[in-house]
């Protein structure tokens, strides 16, 4: 159990209920830690640091079963973080309960069928010191979430303490709230002062003081109203003493103040008390209000105390105070990164160290596995990873590291928004879109464009180098040319079959353009950015120096990630054949000297 609780811990819990800024900080920190994940990890034999993963199935199973899985672990992490932040400690308990006498878990949810059949079930809970009481001479009694009680059984249950050791006395707990006690007291005091000033206005709109010769509005005394014909009542000889003016004033103030306090929208909160007055006494009337003005010093003191609190807690001050005039979204992102590294990770390391010591090591020893090689570790990826991956996905797709299908997923589209490349209509739609974006592709895409291509005259392509004039003399007609060797048809693995040549040429040209696009994007840098302006990206290499043929395969790597190989194979061509043609054409283009 550690040392006995201290008075500052009780006050820290009170601050959590009274100071909204502290409540926000504790909620942010506990929610951040709860989003992280517990993982099993090997220890690097050279550095002794966790590697962040393990292939040991036993370690994986032990970590996976903690608190019943990811959902339970998230709740354990959340409440432990609250304990470490406010009183500086929390107690983790694994208790075994009898399912015959309990039909629900401590959170009120019904027992699973499996737990009902087994006759007993386990629960993982986090307790504060106030929820653990002594029972008998040496027993302990836990107060659970549903306010039920559980007697600690040393034979079946487990209880261990997780705490921040104080630098001076390690057995005592320490927390960020402990060091911020003075600032929190100032916030509570000044807030109370401001609140009292506001409440004073609810008593009414003051009173109009008049000379003694004037009369206050008379309040009717409770009693029965006599009716005509009633017999007179007995006269006991007790004279009726009318209340004095001061008593009337006191009663009236109490009645008006009570009404205004209970109903802040009532007219009693706005209307002054009016007294009748002869005309010659009007200049003697004075209106006095009861409200207290909020002192400017109280507002400034509270603001300064909140700033002190922000500087005292384990968090970037901007998270409590807001981003200042010198901050922007880049510095906000840096603040978030620093919060994880400096303020979230230390909490996780404290928690996983205790879980390793009291959970993992004993269970590994029981399994006959050396516990010195493994630890329970954490994964903060859910906190540090940008949930919007569109930019990263587009860049990975352009570099050939991501499929078009995956790009659509990260961009928020589904497969129905893409081209159906399993049908001829899908290929024609793709060809039309490509041709509309770059008219120079019309001749290449003509077989897919069909009759539409015949109605479009593409712009003439200017060659990079003027073709040389043929100066070879023409042979006389009577001269017999020497026999030349017969032209052999290329092997079917080198050129497409004539029956499907048009479709295959479209495939090859389209995929080659994709390969050249990837190569040019990988070659683009600040130095040659000017050569890419106003030039289609797949033609930009014509303005760049030639590259060695050996470098081309690496430059075009990934061009085939979105190739519909099923459609290609249905045309009778293998992946190897198409790939060899694309690589050949890409080498031919990229190894040319720019004109």
C-alpha span between 86 and 178 (Å, rounded): 8
Element (H, E) at 294: none
Give the pLDDT confidence score for residue 124 in this predicted structure.
95
Task: List pLDDT tens digits, range 340-358.
Answer: 888 899 999 999 999 999 9
pTM over 0.75: no
What angle is formed at CA 20 by the lines to CA 16 and CA 22, rounded to 5 degrees?
A: 55
Contact call for residues 63 and 374 (beta carbons, < 8 A):
no
Give the pLDDT confidence score for residue 27 in this predicted structure.
93
Give the pLDDT confidence score for residue 132 in this predicted structure.
94
Contact call for residues 507 and 562 (beta carbons, < 8 A):
no
Q: What is the DSSP letter of 216?
A: P
C-alpha span between 576 and 591 (Å, rounded): 22
Task: List pLDDT tens digits, range 106-122.
Answer: 888 888 888 888 888 99
Give the pLDDT confidence score for residue 353 in this predicted structure.
97
First to last CA, the chain: 82
Half-sphere exposure of residue 202: CA atoms within 13 angstroms, side-chain side: 14
Give the pLDDT confidence score for residue 370 in this predicted structure.
95
Angle between helix 390-398 and helix 501-523 axes, rounded to 10 deg: 120
Give the pLDDT confidence score for residue 15 in this predicted structure.
95
Q: Which residues of the chain have pLDDT under 50?
A: 325-326, 328-335, 455-456, 458-459, 461-500
């Amino acid at each position: 159990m550690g040392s006995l609780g201290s008075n500052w811990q009780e006050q820290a819990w009170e601050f959590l209920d009274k100071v909204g800024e502290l409540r926000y900080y504790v909620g942010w920190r506990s929610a951040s830690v709860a989003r992280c994940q517990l993982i099993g990890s090997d220890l690097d034999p050279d550095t002794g640091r966790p590697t962040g993963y393990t292939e040991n199935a036993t370690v994986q199973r032990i970590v996976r079963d903690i608190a019943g899985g990811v959902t339970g672990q998230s709740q354990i992490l959340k409440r432990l973080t609250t304990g470490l932040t406010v009183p500086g400690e929390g107690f983790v308990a694994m208790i075994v309960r009898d399912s015959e006498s309990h039909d629900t878990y401590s959170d009120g949810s019904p027992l699973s069928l499996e737990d009902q059949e087994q006759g007993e079930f386990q629960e993982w809970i986090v307790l504060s010191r106030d929820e653990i009481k002594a029972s008998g001479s040496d027993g302990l009694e836990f107060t659970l979430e549903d306010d039920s009680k559980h007697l600690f059984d040393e034979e079946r249950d487990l209880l261990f303490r997780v705490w921040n050791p104080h630098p001076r006395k390690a057995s005592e707990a320490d927390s960020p709230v402990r060091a911020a006690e003075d600032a929190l007291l100032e916030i509570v005091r000044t807030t109370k002062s401001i609140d009292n000033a506001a409440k004073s206005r609810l008593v009414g709109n003051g009173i109009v003081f008049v000379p003694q010769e004037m009369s206050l509005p008379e309040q009717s005394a409770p009693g029965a109203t006599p009716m005509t014909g009633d017999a007179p009542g007995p006269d006991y000889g007790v004279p009726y003493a009318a209340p004095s003016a001061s008593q009337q004033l006191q009663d009236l103030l109490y009645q008006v103040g009570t009404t205004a306090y209970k109903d802040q929208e009532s007219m009693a909160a706005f209307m002054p008390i009016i007294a009748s007055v002869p005309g010659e006494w009007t200049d003697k009337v004075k209106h006095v209000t009861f409200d207290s003005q909020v002192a400017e010093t109280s507002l400034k003191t509270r603001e300064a105390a909140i700033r002190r609190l922000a500087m005292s807690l384990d968090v970037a001050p901007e998270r409590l105070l807001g981003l200042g005039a010198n901050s922007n979204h880049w510095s906000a992102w840096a603040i978030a990164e620093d919060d994880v590294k400096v303020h979230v990770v230390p909490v996780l390391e404290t928690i996983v160290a205790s879980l390793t010591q009291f959970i993992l090591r004993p269970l590994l020893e029981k399994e006959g596995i050396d516990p010195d090689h493994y630890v329970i570790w954490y994964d903060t990826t859910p906190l540090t990873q940008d949930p919007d991956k569109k930019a990263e996905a587009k860049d990975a797709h352009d570099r050939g590291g991501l499929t078009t299908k995956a790009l659509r997923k990260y961009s928020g589209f589904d497969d129905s928004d893409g081209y159906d490349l399993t049908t001829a209509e899908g290929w024609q739609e793709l060809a039309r879109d490509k041709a509309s974006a770059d008219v120079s592709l019309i001749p290449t895409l003509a077989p897919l464009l069909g009759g539409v291509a015949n109605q479009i005259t593409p712009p003439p392509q200017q060659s990079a180098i003027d073709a040389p004039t043929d100066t070879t003399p023409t042979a006389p007609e009577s001269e017999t040319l020497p026999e030349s060797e017969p032209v052999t048809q290329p092997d079917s693995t080198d050129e497409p079959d004539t029956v499907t040549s048009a479709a295959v040429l479209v495939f090859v040209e389209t995929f080659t353009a994709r390969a050249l696009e990837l190569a040019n994007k990988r070659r683009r840098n600040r130095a040659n950015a000017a050569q890419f302006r106003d030039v289609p990206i797949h033609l930009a290499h014509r303005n760049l120096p030639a590259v060695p043929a050996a470098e081309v395969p690496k430059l075009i790597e990934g061009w085939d990630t979105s190739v519909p190989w099923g459609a290609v194979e249905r045309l009778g061509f293998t992946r190897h054949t198409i790939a060899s043609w694309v690589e050949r054409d890409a080498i031919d283009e990229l190894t040319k000297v720019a004109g």
